[in-house]
Chain A
């Protein structure tokens, strides 16, 4: 086991709403780990705590054996440079073109100045995500799937070691969802980036991830490889898994 990020006993509540109550899980280097769970259980809160958008009340978050929550701000900032985050709705800057969006972290975070170099990197990233030539379009003109891809390109610009995906396929049609799942695998294989993935799409999760954690009632109630979770004893997780498979099959029948 070589874990790159570890979450230990994290508590987070909003007012009287206890969202996380003792969540613990560790993420292995170079692997794809998925967090599954019902809507509103705090999956987004969990990964936002990891990258520091939200601050938990208590608990520990380790990045390579360095605890972040109790560390000075400079240490936290430094550590978080190794993280990339794909927001649920991509969070592209809609006042900027696609090129300016991808150039943003290059200029603002890496302080690159050479326009030609920046342009070349942007072009290369766009080619890599399979959308060459859209430099001058605005995010509003793109479809949901394309926005997701551009979001991936923007996070890749900072060459993160860990990439967190917040429901990358929600709201996309099955074909597009498939292509985003392929993109995640490609990111993981080609750049050796550790991927942390939140999703409702149980089928895809079982196919692409190496490890799965089930978030329920503010804790990781069950975890393991897809194989081991496939025949889990955990009653709620079992229902959760079987429901989603059944739904899919019914959908499939209707289509044909």
Chain B
């Protein structure tokens, strides 16, 4: 209330880390909630396939359009496959996938948990000796950590298909050269680094969106505000984390 902003910030951070610790403890403690995990994996994973397919196809196509045009100036059109493939694998696929999932599932996660908080459903769980963090957040976290890289891998393939469509089929790039350069330049390590990033981003989304939902303020406005803050914080968060991870991975993996 009438606190110094700094004190409030430190308090909030303390609560955030305590929440994070509770989530991790919850994952490793019995009972393991396989059914809830499957439910969440379906919601975050299976039902996101169309939107991720569509957005990665679009990104692959748009990116190739620009790159082919640029490369044509140096008569190096066959480099399109390698350029698009590598950028997708290392950066674009994990970032696009994560941003889409934050918009689609992260906001819903905050809204759901926030509603449960303000209608006292979370308190009700506690009175029945059930740890709400373990019941509600831990399965979502495990699902995200598994599903994000899977959808990212799919985004890689579909993005490349989009690239092939535009550069080879529509702009006349030589298909042999396209694939040769792709195989020559793109390493499994590039793909791997992208998948690891996606996992970390999935983890960040769940913890941040879960946190904002779990500590929503009373009132419908409170839940709406929490959802907005959760989406903004986790989007910015994954971008910052992406840069940091890219920096680290370029040093240790190559």
Chain A residues within CB distance 8 Å of chain B = 15-16, 48, 51-53, 77, 80-81, 83-85, 87-89, 91-95, 104-105, 108-109, 158
Contact = CB atoms under 8 A, between A and B. Distances in A.
Summarize B's interface: helix, strand, loop or mixed.
Answer: helix
A142 to B, nearest CB: 14
A91 B129 contact: no
A53 B123 CA distance: 7
A80 B127 CA distance: 8
Given A15-B1, A16-B1, A105 B128 contact: yes
B120 A91 contact: yes
A158 B128 CA distance: 8
A89 B123 CA distance: 12
Contacts of B123: 48, 53, 87, 91
B126 interface: yes
Given A15-B1, A16-B1, A91 B119 contact: yes
B66 interface: no
A84 B121 CA distance: 14
Interface in B121-167: 121, 123-124, 126-130, 135
Contacts of B1: 15-16
A15 B112 CA distance: 28
Contacts of A85: 124, 127
B127 A51 contact: yes
Contacts of A80: 127, 129
A108 B120 contact: no
B108 to A, nearest CB: 12
Contacts of B135: 108
Contacts of B116: 93
Nearest to B131: A108
Contacts of A104: 128, 130
8 contacts: A52-B126, A53-B127, A80-B127, A81-B129, A91-B123, A93-B116, A95-B112, A108-B128
A40 B2 CA distance: 21
A91 B117 CA distance: 10
Contacts of B115: 94
B121 A92 contact: yes
Contacts of B127: 51-53, 80, 83-85
A92 B122 CA distance: 10
In the A-B complex, the 6 residue pairs with the closest CB atoms:
A91-B124, A91-B120, A87-B120, A108-B130, A15-B1, A105-B128
A85 B124 CA distance: 8
Contact of B129 (A88, A89, A109): A109
Given A15-B1, A94-B119, A87 B129 contact: no
For A48, A83, A85, A88, which residue has the most chain B Cβ atoms within 10 angstroms? A85
B124 A87 contact: yes
A42 B124 CA distance: 19
A91 B119 CA distance: 6
A152 B123 CA distance: 16
Contacts of B124: 85, 87, 91, 93
Contacts of A108: 128-130, 135
A158 B1 CA distance: 39
Nearest to B122: A91
Given A15-B1, A16-B1, A93 B128 contact: no
Nearest to B33: A108
A54 to B, nearest CB: 10
Contacts of A77: 129
For A51, A88, A108, which residue has the most chain B Cβ atoms within 10 angstroms? A108
